[in-house]
Amino acid sequence: MTANNTEKETKTCWRCTRELELNDINFGKDSSRRDGYAHACRSCTRQLVSDYQRKNRERKRFWNRSSRIRRRYGLTREFSFAQWLLKLNAFDYSCGYCGDPLQPDQITEDHIRPLSKGGADTTDNTVPACRHCNCTKARNEWQPLTPSQVKQLRRVRGEKAAA
Ligand SMILES: [Zn+2]
Ligand SMILES: [Zn+2]
């Protein structure tokens, strides 16, 4: 920093790229950094933490639920959580059958062709579904909407993404 003490020291948040005055109000402490402050501003840090916690909750639910189902059929998972998130994104976090927007805790993972009927445990055979559709569908085979049909439906209904 410059020797000029009248000039306030600033720091650019790596995430939102705002240049903020370097103080406790704008940045959290981080002793591992040279300037003693975290590299993201406080509001970005809060956002990152809540994103992380939400994703982590989804991840846990997803792994627990699908492990239970797969164990029943003696299967091991063929796709990763990251692929599942891509799927959720493609469907705009909506049910693949009715197109309703889903909150993270309402999402279920549905096998289009049920595992009990020899359906493959792949992303291609999986869609996000609301509990209602998943339960009603049970062991039947329904043709799910495509991601673009879901988006179209949402546009027509004037709904915004849930997540
Ligand atoms: Zn920021
Ligand atoms: Zn549904």
Q: What is the pLDDT of residues 27-62, one digit of tens each?
A: 998 888 889 998 889 999 888 888 877 777 777 777
Question: Residues of 34-53 as b/e, b for ≥16 C-beta within 10 angstroms?
Answer: eeebbbbbbebbeeeeeeee
The CA 32 to ligand 1 mean position distance, Å, reads 19
- Cα(19) to ligand 1 centroid in Å equals 9
Ligand nearest to the CA of 145: 2
CATH number of 73-157: 1.10.30
- Please state, in angstroms and rounded to a whole number, the distance separating the CA atoms of residues 141 and 110: 10
Confidence of residue 163 (pLDDT cuts 50, 70, 90): very low
Which CA distances in Å does 143 have to 53, 67, 149?
33, 24, 12
Query: Ligand 2 centre and the CA of 77: distance in Å?
Result: 24
Instruction: Locate CATH 1.10.30 in the chain.
Output: 73-157
CA of 16 to the centre of ligand 1 (A): 4
The mean per-residue pLDDT over the stretch 70-90 comes to: 76
Convert the pLDDT of each residue in 94-136 to its tens digit.
999 999 998 877 888 899 998 888 888 888 899 999 999 999 9
Report residue 5's pLDDT band, with 50, 70 and 90 as the boundaries: low
Which ligand lies nearest to the CA atom of residue 39 in the structure?
A: 1
Which phi and psi (to 5°) does residue 60 adopt? -60, -45
- According to DSSP, the residues that pair with 27 across neighbouring strands are 41
